[in-house]
Amino acid sequence: MGQLNRYLFKRAYTSIGGLIVFALAVLLLERLLRIFEIVSASTNPASDATQMVVNLLPHYLGIAIPMALMLGTIMTIDRFSRSSELSAAFGAGVSLFHMTKPFILVSFVMFGFTLFIEGYMQPIGRYGYREVVHSVKQQSFAAVLREGQFTTVGNRTFFASSKSSKAGIGPVFIYEKLADGGLNITTAAQGDLIVREETGDPVLQLSEGNGFRVTADKQVSGQIEFSSSSVTGTIHDTRFRARGDDERELTSTELFKNRKGALFPGLAPSVNNSALHLRLARAYLLLLLPFIAVPFGINYGRNPSSAGIFVGVVALLTLQKSLEFGQSLGAKGSIPPWAGIWPLMAVVTLGIFLIYRNSALKMGQPPLATLSIFMADILKDIRKGARALLPFAGPPAPSGSNS
């Protein structure tokens, strides 16, 4: 790698790395509010919130990497153009393809990284996030002790209020259905929620309460008054479902093995195969991005334009949404799973090849400058046509007329 390529490579990975970190921070901000709302009733909120964030990182990396690669490349070439370094490199006989090599190298690294993230880390992380959410909602008494509401979990109905003048919560009402058709009713003036240090189990300690047993024939068979009591253990003992209920929870290897539905019979082959094609297309897209981002970043002349960033972002978002739409059509069975993905990628590849070839081999105007000239010509023709159609529009009066 020559000195120029090393210089560009350093500028590229610095910009792209910074954009990835920035994008992750922005994307996680919105989700953090939801995470804090979920773990607010957890018995171990710090640990649960940390697990959720770690499990979400692969998902947001899959969103941030393509955008960062596109923007980082455009910004690097744009700065290179504005400082006249690009013109100096062309004057020294350096080709545009030679200056694109560092970005191609970065794209290959991101290609392998994305295959691993979206193929393995993201499915496992998605399942892990859902498992933690399930655990927080099902295993904590605090999740159901919401002020002023009756909440049924399993065979128990809870009610708790924080209107007690004393510390803690109260009054507390617990309605429990028994297997023989009877009922247990427990009331208490006050309750405190603690967590055992040894096991981490939540314990609801009750004080100044009464317990009633009602038989299946609606007779009260006993009443107990207590000064203190406790309700301990998990609210729901059922373990979270096995991984694989959703195609987004399956690794790429599992999707490949399940192409005919043999490994996961509950997952339709069309859904399975569409998800696999979408993952491969997203990784392949990273190899194409340098060849479209470099031309978008080129600026000639005294009035450089920054439209490349806007056009690049819009184009990338449009392409990703189009791929998702094609994947949804394939998942429904409307078209073959590959037909919603690869024809579009073939058209995109051809378009990028033509744009890059015009910039690298023909040394033509930058794509966006050509687009601006094309749009200006169209507007000029429209104005001429409008003047010809308007009955009161005529040739301009001579400058020396005395009308």
Can you give the three-state secondary structure of the chain, one letter per residue? Answer: CCHHHHHHHHHHHHHHHHHHHHHHHHHHHHHHHHHHHHHCCCCCHHHHHHHHHHHHHHHHHHHHHHHHHHHHHHHHHHHHHHCCHHHHHHHCCCCHHHHHHHHHHHHHHHHHHHHHHHHHHHHHHHHHHHHHHHHHHHHCHHHCCCECCEEEECCEEEEECECCCCCCEECEEEEEECCCCCEEEEEEEEEEEEECCCCCCEEEEEEEEEEEEECCCCCEEEEEEEEEEEEECCCCCCCCCCCCCCHHHCCHHHHHHCCCCCCCCCCCHHHHHHHHHHHHHHHHHHHHHHHHHHHHHCCCCCCCCCHHHHHHHHHHHHHHHHHHHHHHHHHHCCCCCCCCCHHHHHHHHHHHHHHHHHHHCCCCCCHHHHHHHHHHHHHHHHHHHHHHHCCCCCCCCCCCCCC
pLDDT at 344 over 60: yes
Give the range with max mean pLDDT: 168-177, 260-269, 303-312: 260-269
What residue segments make up the domains of the chain, in order of their start? 3-137+243-381, 145-232
- For residues 277 and 217, the model is more confident at 277
The pLDDT of residue 401 is 47
pLDDT at 259 over 60: yes
| pLDDT tens-digit readout, 118-157 | 999 999 999 999 888 877 766 555 555 655 667 766 677 7
The pLDDT of residue 109 is 93
The pLDDT of residue 94 is 82
Tokens 């601006």 correspond to what residue? 372
| pLDDT tens-digit readout, 368-379 | 655 555 555 566
The pLDDT of residue 86 is 77
Q: Residue 373's CB: how many other CB atoms inside 10 A?
A: 11
Lowest mean pLDDT among 4-8, 14-18, 201-205: 201-205
- For residues 33 and 336, the model is more confident at 336
What percent of the chain shows pLDDT beyond 90? 30
What are the Cα distances from residue 168, in Å, to 6, 41, 190?
64, 15, 7
pTM of the predicted model, to two decimals? Answer: 0.71
The pLDDT of residue 77 is 87
Using pLDDT thresholds of 50, 70 and 90, give the confidence band for residue 43: low
| pLDDT tens-digit readout, 356-368 | 888 777 655 566 6
The pLDDT of residue 403 is 40
As a whole number, the mean pLDDT across the chain is 80
**Mean pLDDT, residues 276-294:** 93
Q: Which two tokens stand for residue 365?
A: 């105007």
Half-sphere exposure of 370 (CA within 13 A, CB side): 11
| pLDDT tens-digit readout, 62-119 | 999 999 999 999 888 888 877 778 778 877 878 888 888 899 999 999 999 999 999 9
**Mean pLDDT, residues 164-172:** 64
